[in-house]
Amino acid sequence: MTTLPPRRETRRITVGDVLVGGGAPVSVQSMTTTKTADVEGTLAQVYALAGTGADIVRITCNDVEAAQGLAEIVPRSPVPIVADIHFQYRLALAALEAGVAGLRLNPGNIRNEAHIKEVARAAAAAGVPIRVGVNAGSLDKDLLDAYGGPVPQALVDSAVKEIRYLEDVDFTDIKISVKHSHVPSMVAAYRLLADTVDYPLHLGVTEAGPPPGGLIKSVAGIATLLLEGIGDTIRFSLTADPVEEAKAGRALLEYLGLRERKGLDLIACPSCGRAEVDVIAVARRAQEALEAEKLPIQVAVMGCVVNGPGEAREADLGIAAGKGKGHLFIKGQVVRVVPEDEMVEALVDEARKLVAEGVEARLAAADAGAAALATETAIELRTVQGDANRATERRAAVAEVASGE
């Protein structure tokens, strides 16, 4: 199996009990959308985020009431809380007093060097890291004027300038983001930053928008960098329920092999003329039923038994249709044949047993004759339906071209 490039070597920081950088697993972040002064409502959202994959949650601290809310939220939170600070440096000091595990400072709107250094000294005393959160939409006016816009170099220069203020007072417990809403610019900025500093990086496409566009943009930017070994913590910035951000972030890391799978990975064929069932409908029903089980498993839904078990043999479990029946398979081996109307129920039942007992035990419990019946059905379907992929005809045409003058 193909392995990812080595992760970029960085310093390591600690956000509460979550390690970031220095080879630690890539973590998932999200941000609450509630009013922070609404302690119970905010905590409910924090718990929902933690339950769907968020390792760290950021909460706005935009006024005194919000800071007071943090003082109640932090000790009751299941995950580390980062305070999001804009404009008023004293709210960063208040958030530290409230016990937050991290601060996010925006260099674009807290520009006073003395104030930044005061916050850094207080954070050092509290043992709390700071994220230098550069954003293309709130870049320092001087840098915008100098570069003519929020180009990648401008974002990196903003981050470096802020880092120097922090390092001046011996503060190095830092992570950095240089977010942009334009995916190519975001990727370019992070690549440049990765070549400039050795601090851990927080990846994200800012203001990505609602799904599906926001998801596509976020995956395009974040996955590109992760596949290059760049990035230590991520956030999907979606115009949606933040739970969707956490779910998407966690899923991306699982699909890339950067985090152990905790949830369902459902794969399905795109369907074709050979399909014996409505693959889309069966896949949708299977996904809903299996997600409710919260099983860390890869499941395949295939339209026919002709190619299904072989094509999806890497899946932990799968089902392939054929002539009113569902052929249940584990790692490509057909273990049971069930009526078509019981396909999803059988899939869920076998998934539970597979997770509880393991692959070898479930293969040993396979129904006698199930594999032979699947082969017989596949041959029958090929005979009835013909060569759906026109393999014989296509092979002959290729051979003719290859052997011609």
Domains by residue range for the chain, with CATH:
12-255 (3.20.20.20), 265-385 (3.30.413.10)
Report pLDDT for 307: 67
26 near 55, Cβ under 8 Å? Answer: no
What is the phi/psi pair of residue 143, to 5°? -70, -40
**Strand ranges of the sheet holding 202-203, from the earlier edge strand across to the other edge:** 174-179, 130-135, 102-105, 81-85, 56-60, 27-31, 233-235, 202-203
What is the phi/psi pair of residue 153, to 5°? -65, -35
pTM to 2 decimal places: 0.84
Report pLDDT for 221: 98
d(CA 154, CA 241): 31
Report pLDDT for 121: 98
**Which structure tokens are listed for 386?**
């013909």
Q: For residues 227-240, b (16+ Cβ closer than 10 Å) or e, as one string?
A: ebebbbbbbbbbeb
Per-residue pLDDT of the chain (405 residues; tens, 9 = 90+): 567 889 999 999 999 999 999 999 999 999 999 999 999 999 999 999 998 899 999 999 999 999 999 999 999 999 999 999 999 999 999 999 999 999 999 998 999 999 999 999 999 999 999 999 999 999 988 999 999 999 999 999 999 999 999 999 999 999 999 999 999 999 999 999 999 999 999 999 999 999 999 999 999 999 999 999 999 999 999 999 999 999 999 999 999 999 998 888 888 887 666 666 788 888 899 999 998 998 889 998 887 777 667 777 888 999 888 777 888 999 988 899 999 889 999 999 999 999 999 999 999 999 888 888 777 777 776 666 655 556 677 778 888 888 876
Report pLDDT for 1: 57
d(CA 93, CA 71): 12
* For residue 107, cis peptide bond before it (omega within 30 degrees of 0): no
Report pLDDT for 56: 98
Q: For residues 159-173, b (16+ Cβ closer than 10 Å) or e, as one string?
A: bbbbbebbeeeebeb
Report pLDDT for 275: 66
d(CA 221, CA 380): 47
What is the phi/psi pair of residue 118, to 5°? -65, -40
CA 12 to chain centre: 21
**Which structure tokens are listed for 303?**
């339209």
**Which structure tokens are listed for 167?**
């390092």
Handedness of CA 182, 137, 204, 146 (dihedral sign): positive
